[in-house]
Structure formats: structure tokens, C-alpha cells
Structure 1
């Protein structure tokens, strides 16, 4: 059973019982990813490492500043 099918069954059941509707699948995915990123950044700072993502600095060096040839 897919997530959409389960959502449809849960929505029908909630409407029959007068319960609040369940959230649609995928609605909070971005919020969860952002909170995980914030948590990892906080853990890095508490461990004494930089709170910034290491790839971000590397990408900035590659694309923002042109290389001298």
C-alpha cells in the first residue's frame, strides 16, 4: 500500500468518526530536514567544530572566486 492510499483510508476514517484530518504525506518533509540540519550544526559547535557545512565553503571556493590561470 502506498502512502497516498493509506492517506485516503485515514482521511475517510477520520471523516466517518468526526476526528481531525491527518496531514497529507510529505507536508512536513522540508521542516524535518531543516531541523536535522540545525541539530547537526548545533552538535558541531558543541563539539568544537565549525557550524557551517564543509561543502558550502568548497563550493564557494570553486564557483564564486575564479581561479587565476
Structure 2
């Protein structure tokens, strides 16, 4: 059974029983993404890592490595 078919069945049952309709599939996807981002930032702070700009900083290190002074 697909997600759409399950949603139609749940909607039918809810209307028949006088219950509130379930949310449509995908209605809360962006909220879940935001909560996941917030959770990852929270975990980073607890671990003592910076919460913002970690990916950009890592890419910057890969693309522009520091030149180490040569001793001689």
C-alpha cells in the first residue's frame, strides 16, 4: 500500500468516526529538517565543537591547506 492510499484510507476512517483528519503526507517535512539541524547543533555544542560553519570550515581546510614553514 502506498503512502497516498494509506492517507486516503485514514481520512475515510476519520470522517466516518467523526475524528480529526490526519495531516497530509509531507506536511511537516520542513519542520523535521529544522528540528534535526537544531539537534545536531545542540550535540556539537555539548561536544565542544562549533555549532555553525563546520562544513564550510572543513571544505576551506581541504581546498586551501595552510603552508607550513620549512626549516632548513
Could you tell me which runs of 5 or more consecutive residues in structure 1 were left unpaired when the two chains were aligned: 63-69
Unaligned runs of 5+ in 2: 64-72
1:14 counterpart residue number: 14
Counterparts of 1:53 and 1:27, CA distance in 2: 29
Which structure's CA Rg is the greater one?
2
1:2 paired residue number:
2
- Name the counterpart of 1:40: 40
Q: What is the aligned-residue RMSD (CA, Å)?
A: 1.7
Q: TM-score, normalised by structure 2?
A: 0.74
Q: Tell me by how many angstroms 1:46 deviates.
A: 1.1
Q: How many residues align?
A: 60
TM-score, reference length from structure 1: 0.77
Distance 1:50 1:2 in 2: 41
Runs of 4+ in 1 over 4 A off after TM superposition: none
Q: CA offset at residue 53 of structure 1?
A: 4.2
